[in-house]
């Protein structure tokens, strides 16, 4: 089994690109952020523990995340590899991942910090299918209706506010960016300019995965 990792700061476009390249990779998207939000909504012990970190824009402890991933990759759709979105985010998470699956490519979506706040504060997602939009940069084609499933039910994330975004960016620079060197040394790290049109980025990611 060979998996790929989508890597980058909050709001870089990892979720947006995961949805676009799922068909060409044939790999299911595994987003630790989505899994944690589902656990919070369900009120599970994991969700209750994770919520305080997520609300503060801090990383959830490694042990919680690694256990979530170990369970997820046992599922039937993950047997030929997965596309990780937002995992790993620390060296211990990357080491745990290396012990359970082979990673063929790490795709780093590079976006300058000054773009991040405007991206995150304008984000909304479809409550039915999870498609990701932006008020200005990526609106629905028909106002108020999801392009993918026609739902009119949208939501915004509790942690998508300016002060939490600044904490998430600090966590990214302090705890997650050191992983770039770790993966560079393994020769599987590909940097993609993420400050461009969404379709151009998808094309470059698909090319890098060949
Ligand atoms: P998570 O849900 O993973 O959030 P994140 O990494 O902060 O990333 P985002 O989902 O905010 O952004 P994205 O890169 O997917 O961007 P998107 O495509 O939506 O994590 C949330 C929290 O959970 C963390 O803070 C932490 O507490 C916890 N957590 C999760 N995983 C963890 C882990 N492994 N370890 C520890 N804790 C963990 O795009 C953003 C917006 O920009 C959208 O509106 C989109 O339409 C727009 N957009 C996308 N591309 C472009 C473009 N090219 N041009 C213009 N706009 C664009």
Tell me the domains of the chain and their CATH numbers: 3-112+163-208 (3.40.50.300), 123-159 (no CATH)
Please give the Cα distance from 194 to 8 (Å, whole number).
Answer: 9
Please give the Cα distance from 22 to 148 (Å, whole number).
Answer: 14
Please give the Cα distance from 97 to 139 (Å, whole number).
Answer: 35
Please give the Cα distance from 165 to 120 (Å, whole number).
Answer: 8
Is 37 an annotated catalytic residue? Answer: no
pTM value is 0.96
Q: How far is the CA of 160 from the centre of ligand 1 (A)?
A: 9
Residue whose CA is at the smallest distance from ligand 1 atom 52: 198
Residue whose CA is at the smallest distance from ligand 1 atom 23: 33
Q: Which of 80, 85, 86 is nearest to 102 (CA)?
A: 80
Q: How far is the CA of 15 from the centre of ligand 1 (A)?
A: 6
Please give the Cα distance from 68 to 73 (Å, whole number).
Answer: 9
Lowest mean pLDDT among 19-28, 34-43, 105-114: 19-28
Which of ligand 1's atoms lies nearest the C-alpha of 135? 44
- Cross-strand pairs, 125: 132, 155
The verdict on the CB of residue 12 being under 6 Å from ligand 1 is: yes
How confident is the model over 83-110, as pLDDT tens digits?
999 999 999 999 999 999 999 999 999 9
Please give the Cα distance from 73 to 176 (Å, whole number).
Answer: 22
Residue whose CA is at the smallest distance from ligand 1 atom 30: 33
Is 168 an annotated catalytic residue? Answer: yes
Q: How far is the CA of 159 from the centre of ligand 1 (A)?
A: 10
170: left (phi over 0), alpha (psi -120 to 50) or beta: alpha
- Are 70 and 30 a contacting pair, CB within 8 Å? no
Residue 1 has pLDDT above 70, yes or no: no
Q: How far is the CA of 116 from the centre of ligand 1 (A)?
A: 10
How confident is the model over 145-162, as pLDDT tens digits?
999 999 999 999 989 999
Please give the Cα distance from 114 to 60 (Å, whole number).
Answer: 25
Residue whose CA is at the smallest distance from ligand 1 atom 2: 33
Is 119 an annotated catalytic residue? Answer: no
């Amino acid at each position: 089994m060979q998996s790929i990792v989508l890597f980058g700061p909050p709001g870089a476009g990892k979720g947006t690109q995961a949805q676009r390249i799922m068909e060409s990779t044939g790999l299911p998207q595994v987003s630790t952020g989505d899994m944690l939000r589902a656990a919070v909504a369900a009120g599970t012990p994991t969700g209750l523990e994770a919520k305080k970190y997520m609300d503060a824009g801090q990383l959830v402890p490694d042990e919680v995340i690694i256990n979530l991933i170990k369970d997820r990759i046992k599922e039937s759709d993950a047997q030929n590899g997965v596309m990780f979105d937002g995992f790993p985010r620390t060296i211990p998470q990357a080491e745990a991942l290396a012990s359970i699956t082979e990673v063929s490519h790490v795709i780093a979506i590079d976006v300058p910090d000054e773009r991040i706040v405007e991206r995150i504060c304008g984000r909304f997602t479809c409550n039915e299918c999870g498609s990701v939009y932006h008020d200005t940069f990526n609106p629905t084609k028909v106002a108020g209706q999801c392009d993918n499933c026609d739902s009119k039910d949208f939501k915004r994330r509790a942690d998508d506010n300016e002060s939490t975004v600044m904490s998430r960016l600090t966590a990214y620079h302090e705890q997650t960016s050191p992983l770039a060197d770790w993966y560079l040394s393994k020769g599987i790290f590909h940097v993609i300019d993420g400050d461009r049109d969404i379709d151009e980025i998808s094309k470059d990611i698909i090319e890098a995965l060949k």
